């Protein structure tokens, strides 16, 4: 049985109160090696130090921080260690597109704020169960393992199940059909998934980066353009509505200035851009590729019977 209480835990959150609560909750659950970091930069440094020492931490990551957002931090972590488990903390609803996006790009779980002990406990319980299933040999209770894979996700493709189990899709079909007949799972519509062009794995993470320098150290910003002096900078730089370049007060929206929502600012090269560039990363062979090189796999999807 896998005991995760020996694992390093990395909490990255700019709120000291959240860090204290999470540390106390994790200590109650038996986790003793808890490290707290106050922003994304310090968190990434701590993460890299742990990886260099041969330790892969479980990460609790705040969605919004002053220096960068969760998508930027997650992308940089996946570049270093594609199998890292990152739990996103946020007060936003899971159904919001921004949260769906970061989960789709490789985040392991979602933890709602205010943070409660029972929610942290449930996440760690699920993670422990998954690790224990990895320790079971393929011949030991295969049906139970497949049921677990399907029922712990909204939907899972036959391709993904077969790859996880190390079998062909044809070998998995009798097991799938038994679970269907026992009303444990239900067949859904087909899924078309991106697969690695080198090894064929469908467990892929989408990597976002600056279109100028290709770096992943970015943050989401609201920008203001002051027409008179052509300054374009973060809304936070206009203290008391004073332009940081010409020192004049901005007055009338649409006449003196305009606001550009949901722009990105690269912390490395200072480039500003409305859309991120993207690549894909294979979580088996670490192959990084563009969408034009991707393979596509289509197979039936399955979900929990309800």
What three-state secondary structure class fits 243? coil
Q: Please choose, from the candidates 192, 160, 171, 177, the residue with its C-alpha nearest in 3D space to the C-alpha of residue 284.
A: 160
What does DSSP assign to residue 291?
Answer: G
Angle subtended by helix axes 142-151 and 158-165, to nearest 10: 140
Residue with the two structure tokens 């742990």 = 50
Domain ranges in the chain are: 4-133, 136-206+277-304, 218-266
What does DSSP assign to residue 134?
Answer: H
Contact 272, 264 (CB under 8 A): yes
Q: Please choose, from the candidates 258, 224, 276, the residue with its C-alpha nearest in 3D space to the C-alpha of residue 69.
A: 276
Q: So what's the pLDDT on residue 1?
A: 55
Alpha-carbon distance of 183 to 165, in angstroms, equals 21
Alpha-carbon distance of 192 to 160, in angstroms, equals 11
Residue with the two structure tokens 């260099």 = 52
Q: So what's the pLDDT on residue 2?
A: 64
Q: So what's the pLDDT on residue 148?
A: 86
Answer whether 4-133 and 136-206+277-304 agree in fold: no
- Is the pLDDT at 135 greater than 70? The verdict is no
Q: How confident is the model at residue 137 (pLDDT cuts 50, 70, 90)?
A: very low
Q: Please choose, from the candidates 43, 35, 49, 33, the residue with its C-alpha nearest in 3D space to the C-alpha of residue 63.
A: 43
Q: Please choose, from the candidates 93, 101, 47, the residue with its C-alpha nearest in 3D space to the C-alpha of residue 69.
A: 101
Span 201-218, pLDDT tens digits: 998 888 889 999 988 889
Span 139-196, pLDDT tens digits: 447 888 888 889 888 889 999 999 988 889 999 999 999 999 999 999 999 999 999 9
The CA radius of gyration of the chain, in Å to the nearest whole number, is 22
- Given the candidates 3.40.50.2300, 3.30.300.30, 3.10.28.10, 2.40.50.180, the CATH classification of the domain at 4-133 is 3.40.50.2300
Span 229-281, pLDDT tens digits: 999 999 999 999 999 999 999 999 999 999 998 899 998 999 999 999 999 98
Range with lowest mean pLDDT among 16-20, 29-33, 73-77, 103-107 = 103-107
What three-state secondary structure class fits 168? coil
Alpha-carbon distance of 185 to 150, in angstroms, equals 7
* Average pLDDT over the chain, rounded to an integer: 89
CA distances, 49 to each of 53, 68, 69, 77, 80 (Å):
6, 19, 21, 12, 11
CATH architecture of 136-206+277-304: Orthogonal Bundle (1.10)
């Amino acid at each position: 049985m896998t005991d995760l209480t020996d694992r390093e835990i990395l909490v990255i959150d700019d709120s000291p109160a959240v860090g204290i609560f999470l540390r106390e909750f994790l200590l109650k659950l038996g986790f003793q090696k808890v490290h707290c970091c106050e922003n994304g930069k310090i968190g990434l440094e701590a993460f890299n130090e742990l990886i260099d020492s041969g330790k892969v931490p479980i990460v609790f990551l705040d969605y919004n921080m002053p220096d960068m957002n969760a998508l930027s931090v997650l992308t940089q972590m996946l570049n270093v260690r594609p199998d890292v488990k990152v739990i996103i903390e946020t007060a936003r609803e899971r159904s919001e597109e921004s949260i769906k996006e970061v989960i789709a790009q490789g985040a392991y779980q979602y933890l709602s704020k205010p943070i409660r002990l029972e929610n942290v406990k449930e996440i760690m319980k699920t993670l422990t169960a998954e690790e224990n299933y990895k320790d079971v040999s393929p011949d030991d209770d295969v049906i139970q393992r497949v049921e677990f894979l399907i029922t712990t996700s909204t939907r899972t493709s036959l391709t993904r199940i077969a790859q996880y189990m190390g079998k062909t899709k044809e070998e998995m079909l009798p097991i799938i059909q038994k679970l269907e007949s026992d009303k444990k799972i239900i067949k859904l519509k087909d899924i078309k998934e991106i697969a690695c062009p080198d090894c064929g794995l469908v467990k892929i993470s989408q990597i976002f980066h600056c279109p100028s320098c290709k770096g992943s150290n970015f943050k989401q910003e609201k920008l203001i353009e002051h027409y008179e002096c052509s300054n374009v900078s973060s809304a936070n730089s206009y203290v008391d509505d004073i332009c940081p370049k010409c020192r004049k007060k901005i007055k009338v929206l649409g006449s003196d200035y305009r606001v550009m929502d949901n722009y990105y600012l690269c912390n490395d090269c200072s480039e500003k851009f409305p859309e991120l560039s993207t690549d894909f990363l294979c979580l088996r062979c670490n192959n990084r590729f563009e969408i034009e090189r991707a393979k596509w796999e289509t197979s039936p999807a399955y979900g929990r019977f309800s």
